[in-house]
Amino acid sequence: MFDWIKKLFGEGKVRVEFTLTDGRTGVAKAKYIGDPSTFDVEEFKARIYVEYGASVKSIDGITFSEQ
């Protein structure tokens, strides 16, 4: 509903490289709308846990790119 307001602060893509506690590595890519500094690392870790069944051991890189 308020996406047009968020777009005033920017939009683009976020790329997160991570390592799980079981040794698997992965890359997550997603679009974002709004201020990229509001990226919630804890929410990301929780979502990865739900989807992959393992905790995030480390985040190796977070990259934001404008569209």
Other C-beta atoms closer than 10 Å to the C-beta of 56 total 20
Condensed to tens digits (0 to 9), the pLDDT of residues 2-43 reads 666 655 667 788 899 999 999 999 999 988 777 777 788 899
pTM score, whole prediction:
0.74
